[in-house]
Amino acid sequence: MDTSFIRKPLFGMLLSILSLMAVSISLHAQSYIVDSPFSDAIKAYEGEIIKDGNGNDHVRIEYDAPFVEIENGAVVKVVGRCIGQSSVGGQGEVKAIIEYDEKSLYTDAFLLKYSEADSGGRSDLFTDDDFSPNSIVVGGEKDAWQQRFNRMDVHSAEGKFWYGYSVPVVIIVLMLVALGLVVFSFKSMALGRVAIFVAPVLMLGALCMECVYMFRMGGQCVWWCNKDVVGLWGAIGRSIPFVLVMILQLGFVGIYLKLFRRVTYVNVPAKWSFISMLIAIIPGFFVAAYAACWITGISPDADFINDLTPEQWSGFILKFSMLYFVVLALAPVIICCVKTRSLSGIILGLFFVIYGFATVAALILLILALSQLLWAIVIEIFGGLIVLAVILFAGSQGSSGSGASQSYFVDEKGNRHVSGGKGRRIVSK
């Protein structure tokens, strides 16, 4: 029976449905520009959408999932959003579903910049998402107000600056100049008198920049040690100078104090300066908090989330930070001034305070970087051991399966015998 008159309409309807679906996707797709702050391209992976207990879309991406690299500046069509695991902290938890090479691929949404000109007036799918590397949220969704501090647009000029190498390079240069000035000052007393003032100022500048960098970037401050971002060898290559600089930072105070004693003939009790600061950390917190409340006219018993306005909250944080630093600096400055009996003791005391904070910051940075790097190396070694075990297992199975093959030796008359004779040449059949 001729069924062509049935197949043709069905085929036409199928084409119409597919065309409508394609048009619908294109109408609802927004255009985004690839703009990674880490490198010149992003990776978009193949994956599978699954539902969690709340009905939210999660993407499951296998460890060795196929991916394509898309260079910065390319325009991609985003057809949806979902949630997935991230290798760069909270920034990468929101995923963008893109259509590329007739496939649905998944990538970190914060690596894409919304292109209003190419989206035909359609709204940004991620307009309510905060992709700041270290935003601080005060208040919950059910509180009277919720305020976010330390926000950053990754794709702005400010974002490019903090994600670039400018700040780390400046920090390293200041530290190296301070160290070089101190080291060469041991050969010149005149240079030493200059170095005891200039070197701590240079180091304080580097340490302040380091603290601000950590505050702005949070966990992303060591992104260049992340294997998933720069690759294993890239992470290793960047970690070596970083570790050396952190060691330099931790050891600088000892070298500087030797120079200070040589120039001033004064033995400064650095140990007691640091101990006094550590003792004042907890009581100093409450002293600074109550003093900040008194200055700003806020009751210490107030509900800081629901009773304060954002302006009052930010004003309190600023005053508290300044007062807390002053409280912690009092004891080291007094100890250094009494011991040196000069104004240089003030600089030395302030140096101890900032150096104490910076030492903690350096240790945190060092732990973050080494933990990422060591974990990446462990994963690579573990993966290599699995591959090696599979190869050895396959080889053992192949050799056991060829047990029918035997070895022989040939005697002087050319006769073959099963191996086991003495002084004979072994050959394989």
pLDDT tens profile 366-382: 777 777 666 656 655 65
Domain boundary among 70, 105, 131: 131
Spatial neighbors of 48 by CB under 8 A, at least 6 apart, are 59, 60
Q: What global pTM score does this model have?
A: 0.71
Residue 33 within a domain: yes
Q: How far apart are CA 322 and CA 289, in angstroms?
A: 11
Residue 273 within a domain: no
> What is the tally of structural domains in the chain?
2
Write the pLDDT tens digit of every residue in 385-409: 665 666 666 655 555 554 444 555 5
Write the pLDDT tens digit of every residue in 27-73: 457 889 999 988 888 889 988 888 776 677 888 888 778 889 999 99
Residue 63 within a domain: yes
> Which residues span the domain enclosing 19?
4-131
Residue 55 within a domain: yes
Residue 242 within a domain: no
Domain boundary among 338, 366, 384: 338
